Amino acid sequence: MVNTKVKLSGIELDNPIIPASGTFGFGYEFAEIYDINCLGTFSFKGTTKDPRFGNPTPRIAECDAGMINAVGLQNPGVEKVISEELPKLKACFNKPVMANVSGFSVEDYAYTVEMLDSQEQIGWFEVNVSCPNVHGGGMSFGTSAEAAAEVTSSVRKVTKKPLYIKLSPNVTNIVEIAKACEESGADGISMINTMLGMRIDLKTRKPVIANKMGGFSGPAIKPVALRMVYQVYEAVKVPIIGMGGIATAEDVIEMMLAGATAVEIGAQNLVDPFACKDIIDNLPKVMEKYKIDNLSSIIGGAH
């Protein structure tokens, strides 16, 4: 009998499978088609201080081995997440959930985390630093070690819950940024967010997405994600949640060997809503195939 359990900052998960933020709503939508309590946990839809309608449409484009999205953090705002979304989630999910938080200023991040901190359902925070810094010229917080560290230390002051910083791959040196977050109080690193991509319509000769560019995700980015997780694992002591192109139980094991303690599945949920359940069901069989008795024993095993 294989053991699929892992520990993420002191909280035990039945397995390392976590649907990624933005691909699983607030959970109850998927609870209509299967029992989501089979998941390790999940990261709910990116939440901001104020409600957001998101970017203009079209904001999704398919491409070879992946997709591009520029949804633009559409969400009802933190107050409605607390008053409406979390009660609905509580009715169908009895495990701690991961709260994904976004912001456009350091104050935004701190406010939203502080508001969510008292919610007992929330086990961890996943702070997305890929948002444009409105006070810093519009560059993403995640493209600068200093800016990422500032967000980390600000949020650290308003919560004692485990704090994971979700890093952008659209940088020259992701290791430097991961180390800055660790030094500023992060309990873990979540990586990688989407890469930047675009599609052009041959008939109109214009970008397919109204925003011109968007986040590229799917199987095509897995080699980049593996490389970055591998590099960061060697540089930090905190756990890593790895993601980027994960679609099978074999992918999960490969990501854990690179250094991930848990693994998020993103774009695959949009292709197949049963993706996470199927991966969880297949994991014991794949572990037996590769003679793995205890999943937590392989973390960083490729080093």
% of the chain with per-residue pLDDT over 90? 96
Q: What pLDDT, on a 0 to 100 scale, did the predictor assign at position 222?
A: 98
pTM > 0.95 = yes
139 confidence band (pLDDT: 50, 70, 90): confident
Mean pLDDT of 62-91: 96
Mean pLDDT of 109-126: 98
Mean pLDDT of 263-292: 98
181 is catalytic: no
DSSP 85-111: IHHHHHTT--S-EEEEE--SSHHHHHH
Q: What pLDDT, on a 0 to 100 scale, did the predictor assign at position 146?
A: 96
Before 241, cis peptide (omega within 30)? no
Q: Is the Cβ–Cβ distance between 14 and 4 less than 8 Å?
A: yes
Q: What pLDDT, on a 0 to 100 scale, did the predictor assign at position 133?
A: 73
Would you tell me the crossing angle of helices 145-156 and 174-183 to the nearest 10 degrees?
30
Q: What pLDDT, on a 0 to 100 scale, did the predictor assign at position 80?
A: 98
| CB proximity list for 159: less than 8 A, separation 6 or greater | 113, 114, 117, 125
Q: Which of 92, 131, 181, 276 is catalytic?
A: 131
pLDDT tens, position by position, 27-53: 999 999 999 999 999 999 999 999 999
132 confidence band (pLDDT: 50, 70, 90): confident
Assess whether pLDDT exceeds 90 at residue 136.
no
% of the chain with per-residue pLDDT over 70? 99
Would you tell me the crossing angle of helices 145-156 and 106-117 to the nearest 10 degrees?
30
For the chain, give every domain's residue range. 6-298
Q: Is the Cβ–Cβ distance between 168 and 178 less than 8 Å?
A: no
Mean pLDDT of 106-127: 98
CA 45/CA 33 separation, integer angstroms: 18
Q: What pLDDT, on a 0 to 100 scale, did the predictor assign at position 141?
A: 94
State the amino acid at position 269 in one-letter form. Answer: N
SS3 content of the chain, % helix, strand, coil (to 5): 35, 20, 45
User: What tokens were used for 223?
Assistant: 């080699």
Q: What pLDDT, on a 0 to 100 scale, did the predictor assign at position 22?
A: 95
Coil vs helix vs strand at 248:
coil
User: What tokens were used for 258?
Assistant: 């690179």
Q: What is the CATH number assigned to the segment(s) 6-298? A: 3.20.20.70
Q: Is the Cβ–Cβ distance between 19 and 42 less than 8 Å?
A: yes
Range with the lowest mean pLDDT among 70-74, 129-133, 181-185, 198-202? 129-133
Q: Which helix (H) or strand (E) segment is 71 a member of?
A: none
